[in-house]
C-alpha cells in the first residue's frame, strides 16, 4: 500500500511498450539550439548565463540575494512577458460555472472501493454559485449519492434515470476509460475533467522542513525503486557524468536504502514511523537538482515526480512529456530532452550549479510570481477535484440526468 503515491502500481502494464518508443526518441537527441526555451541563454543584457566565472556556493538565500541585486523581478518579468504556453493543454478551473445551469444545489459524491484518493479529501465543500458538495468514502454519510466515483473497479454497466452518475478516474499515462462511465477524469485536457498532479494532496504527512544550504559537490538527487530498464539506462548514463546521490533501489550509491534520514536527521517526521514519501521533499532540498524521469513519455503526462522537486525548492532535470512547458512555470526546470547529448546536459547542469545568479534564476518564478500555465495546472489538481466534479454533476442534473 502506498497511500499517496498513485503512479507506481498500474504503470508496469504500459511501461514496456512506451519504453521502446521513448528509447528510440531519446537516442535521436532532438537538436534544438538552446537548452532554455527563453532568452535567458542568449547573450542579451542582464543574462546571467554563459558570462560568468564559476563561483561555488551552498547558501541558497545568499544566491537569491545576489540575483536580486544583479537581475531582479522586473527584468525577469520583462524577459518572460511573451511566455507563451498552450492554454488548451490545461482546462480552465472555472469553465462552465454558469450558475443558472446548476441544479441541484447540493451534490454528494461517494468514493467507491479501495483507492489511493486521500482520505482527507473527505469533507463538505462550499463551491461556486452556492453549490454545496459532500465528498466522502462513507456510504453512511452519503447514503443517496448523486454520483459514485470509481477507481480500480468497474462502474456498473447500466445506469437508469434516478441512479447516481457513474464517474471513473484514471490518472495513469494510459488514461483508459472503463467504457461504462458518465464522466471520465484523467490528466489530459480532452477528458471530461482534467486533474493534474500539481496538488498539495499528493504529499500528505510530508515533513515541511527545507534546507537553506545545498551541496556544492553532490549536485543531483535521484531516487527510484522501480528500475525500468530504459529509465535505469538513461539515469546511469547521465549520473555517471555528474556527482549525485541515488537513494532508491535503482543505482543506489549511498550505502543502502533508507539512508536519507541518517544523512538528514532534520527530515525525520517525529510523529510517524518513517516512510520515504514523508521525508522526500526535505531530503531533496539539500540538492541543487533532482533527476525526474517519467515512467513513460506521453503528452501532458506530467506527474508528481516533477512537482515534488518544485515544491521542495529544487530544480528538476526532466525527461517526460514533450509539452512539459505547458504545465510548469517559466525557467523552472531543465528539460533534458532538449540537449543534443547527455554530455552537453551534464556540463550545462554543472555550469548552472557553479553560478549562484544563474541558479537563483531557476527559482525566480516562485519569488516573483511568474507562473505561466503552472497557475492553471495547480488550480485543477486533485486538491480542487471535489468542487469541480460536484459542479459538473450538478450541471448534468445529478441523478436526474438522462441516460446516455
Ligand atoms: C564547496 O565544497 C568543498 C568540499 O567539497 C568545500 O571545501 C568548499 O568550501 C565549498 N565551497 C563553498 C562556497 O561552500
Ligand atoms: C495544445 O494542447 C492541446 C491539448 O493537449 C492539443 O490538442 C493541441 O494540439 C496543443 N496545441 C499546440 C499548438 O501544441
Confidence of residue 343 (pLDDT cuts 50, 70, 90): very high
Q: pLDDT tens for residues 132-186?
A: 999 999 999 999 999 999 998 999 999 998 999 999 999 999 999 999 999 999 9
The verdict on the CB of residue 90 being under 6 Å from ligand 2 is: no
What CATH number should be reported for the domain holding residue 250? 3.40.50.11660
Q: Which ligand is nearest to the CA of 60?
A: 1
In a domain, 135, yes or no: yes
Instruction: Judge if the beta carbon of residue 143 lies within 6 A of ligand 1.
Output: no
Residue 130: give the domain boundaries: 104-195+381-400
Please give the pLDDT value at position 9: 34
pTM: 0.86
Q: What is the mean pLDDT of residues 255-282?
A: 85
97 inside domain: no
Let me know if residue 35 belongs to a domain.
no
Q: Ligand 1 center to residue 293 CA distance, Å?
A: 29
pLDDT of 26: 34
Using DSSP's 3-state secondary structure scheme, residue 36 falls into coil
Q: Is the CB of 89 under 6 A from ligand 2?
A: yes
Q: What is the pLDDT of residue 8?
A: 38
Residue of higher predicted confidence among 243 and 18: 243
Q: From the alpha carbon of 300, which atom of ligand 2 is closest?
A: 5
Decide: 187 and 299 in contact? Cβ < 8 Å: no
Q: What is the mean pLDDT of residues 340-362?
A: 97
Query: 49: pLDDT confidence band, cut at 50, 70 and 90?
Result: low
User: How far, in Å, is the centroid of ligand 1 from the Cα of 287?
Assistant: 14
Q: Per-residue confidence at 202, pLDDT binned at 50, 70, 90?
A: confident
**Quick one: DSSP state of residue 51?**
S
Q: Which residues of 139-170 are buried (b: 16+ CB within 10 A; e: fewer)?
A: eeebeebbbbbbbeeebeeebeeebbbbbbbb
Average pLDDT along the chain: 86
Q: Is the pLDDT of residue 39 over 80?
A: no
Structural domain contains residue 87: no
* Averaged pLDDT, 339-358: 96
Residue 15 — very low, low, confident or very high, per pLDDT cuts 50/70/90?
Answer: very low
| 258 and 312 belong to one structural domain | yes
Residues 300 and 370 in one domain: yes
Dihedral, 246, 248, 252, 255 alpha carbons, nearest 10: 100
Q: What share of the chain is helix, strand, coil (3-state, %, to 5)?
A: 35, 15, 50
Q: Is 21 part of a structural domain of the chain?
A: no
Q: What is the average pLDDT across 329-333? A: 97
Q: Which pLDDT does position 285 carry in this prediction?
A: 98
**Domain assignment of residue 34, yes or no:** no
Residues 245 and 338 in one domain: yes
Mean pLDDT value across residues 270-278: 73
Res 20 pLDDT > 70: no
Q: Which atom of ligand 1 is nearest to the CA of 56?
A: 13
Q: Do 250 and 280 belong to one domain?
A: yes
pLDDT of amino acid 103: 79
Residue 245 has pLDDT above 50, yes or no: yes
State the closest ligand 1 atom to the C-alpha of 58, by its place in the atom list counted from 1.
14
Quick check: CB of 189 below 6 Å from ligand 2? yes
Shortest-distance Cα residue to atom 4 of ligand 1: 217
Looking at the fold, whether 232 and 128 belong to one and the same domain comes out as no
pLDDT score recorded for residue 273: 74
Residue with the larger pLDDT of the pair 146 and 2: 146
Q: Which three cell numbers stand for residue 311?
A: 515544491
| Domain annotation covers residue 275 | yes
The dihedrals phi and psi of 244, each to the nearest 5 degrees, come to -155, 165
pLDDT, position 96? 64
- CB under 8 Å, gap of 24 or more: what pairs does 308-311 form? 308/202, 308/203, 308/280, 308/281, 308/284, 309/284, 310/366, 311/203, 311/281
Residues 348 and 222 in one domain: yes
Atom number in ligand 1 closest to CA 57: 13
> Which bound ligand lies closest to the C-alpha atom of 322?
2
Rounded to 10°, the helix 276-284/304-311 angle is 50
- pLDDT of 201 higher than 70: yes
Residues 174 and 207 in one domain: no
Residue 196 and residue 303: Cα distance in Å, rounded? Answer: 8
Q: Is 218 in the pocket of ligand 1 (CB under 6 A)?
A: no
Work out the pLDDT band at 19, boundaries 50, 70, 90. very low
The answer to the question of residue 3 being in a domain is no
The verdict on 356 and 279 lying in the same domain is: yes
176 and 243 both lie in a single domain = no
Q: Identify whether residues 134 and 274 lie together within a single domain.
A: no
Can you give the pLDDT at residue 393? 95
Split into its structural domains, the chain has a count of 2
Give the rounded distance of the alpha carbon of 264 from its chain centre: 24
Write out pLDDT tens, residues 88-124. Answer: 999 987 766 577 777 778 999 999 977 788 998 999 9
Same-domain pairing of 353 and 208: yes
Same domain, 71 and 166: no
Higher pLDDT, 99 or 262: 262
From the list 290, 311, 286, the residue with the least C-alpha distance to 381 is 311
Average pLDDT over residues 218-222: 98
44-62: average pLDDT: 69
Amino acid at each position: 500500500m502506498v497511500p499517496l503515491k498513485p503512479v507506481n502500481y498500474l504503470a508496469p502494464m504500459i511501461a514496456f511498450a512506451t519504453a521502446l518508443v521513448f528509447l528510440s526518441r531519446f537516442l535521436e537527441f532532438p537538436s534544438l539550439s538552446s537548452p532554455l526555451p527563453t532568452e535567458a541563454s542568449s547573450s542579451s543584457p542582464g543574462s546571467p548565463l554563459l558570462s560568468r566565472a564559476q563561483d561555488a556556493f551552498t547558501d541558497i538565500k545568499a544566491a537569491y540575494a545576489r540575483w536580486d541585486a544583479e537581475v531582479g523581478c522586473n527584468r525577469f518579468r520583462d524577459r518572460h512577458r511573451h511566455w507563451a504556453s498552450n492554454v488548451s493543454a490545461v482546462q480552465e478551473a472555472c469553465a462552465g460555472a454558469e450558475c443558472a445551469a446548476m441544479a441541484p444545489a447540493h451534490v454528494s459524491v461517494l468514493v467507491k472501493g479501495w483507492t489511493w484518493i486521500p482520505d482527507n479529501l473527505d469533507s463538505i465543500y462550499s463551491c461556486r454559485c452556492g453549490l454545496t458538495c459532500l465528498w466522502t468514502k462513507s456510504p453512511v454519510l452519503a447514503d443517496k449519492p448523486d454520483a459514485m466515483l470509481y477507481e480500480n473497479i468497474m462502474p456498473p454497466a447500466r445506469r437508469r434515470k434516478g441512479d447516481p452518475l457513474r464517474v471513473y478516474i484514471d490518472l495513469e499515462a494510459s488514461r483508459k476509460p472503463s467504457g461504462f462511465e458518465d464522466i471520465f477524469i484523467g490528466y489530459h485536457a480532452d477528458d471530461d475533467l482534467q486533474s493534474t498532479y500539481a496538488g498539495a494532496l499528493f504529499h500528505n504527512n510530508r515533513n515541511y522542513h527545507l534546507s537553506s544550504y545545498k551541496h556544492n559537490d553532490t549536485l543531483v538527487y535521484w531516487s527510484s525503486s522501480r528500475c525500468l530498464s530504459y529509465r535505469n539506462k538513461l539515469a546511469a548514463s547521465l549520473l555517471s557524468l555528474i556527482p549525485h546521490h541515488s537513494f532508491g533501489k535503482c543505482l543506489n550509491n549511498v550505502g543502502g536504502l533508507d539512508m536519507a534520514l541518517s544523512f538528514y536527521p532534520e527530515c525525520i517526521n517525529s510523529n510517524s514511523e518513517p516512510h520515504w514519501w514523508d521525508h522526500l521533499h526535505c531530503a531533496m532540498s539539500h540538492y541543487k537538482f533532482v533527476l525526474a524521469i517519467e515512467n513513460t513519455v506521453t503528452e501532458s503526462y506530467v506527474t508528481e515526480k516533477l512537482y515534488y522537486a518544485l515544491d521542495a525548492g529544487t530544480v528538476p532535470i526532466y525527461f517526460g512529456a514533450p509539452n512539459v512547458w505547458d504545465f510548469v512555470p517559466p525557467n523552472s526546470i531543465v528539460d533534458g530532452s532538449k540537449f543534443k547529448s547527455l554530455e552537453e546536459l551534464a556540463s550545462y547542469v554543472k555550469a548552472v550549479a557553479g553560478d549562484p545568479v544563474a541558479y537563483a534564476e531557476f527559482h525566480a518564478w516562485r519569488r516573483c510570481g511568474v507562473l505561466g500555465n503552472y497557475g492553471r495546472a495547480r488550480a485543477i489538481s486533485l486538491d480542487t477535484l471535489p468542487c469541480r466534479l460536484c459542479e459538473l454533476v450538478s450541471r448534468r442534473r445529478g441523478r436526474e440526468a438522462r441516460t446516455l
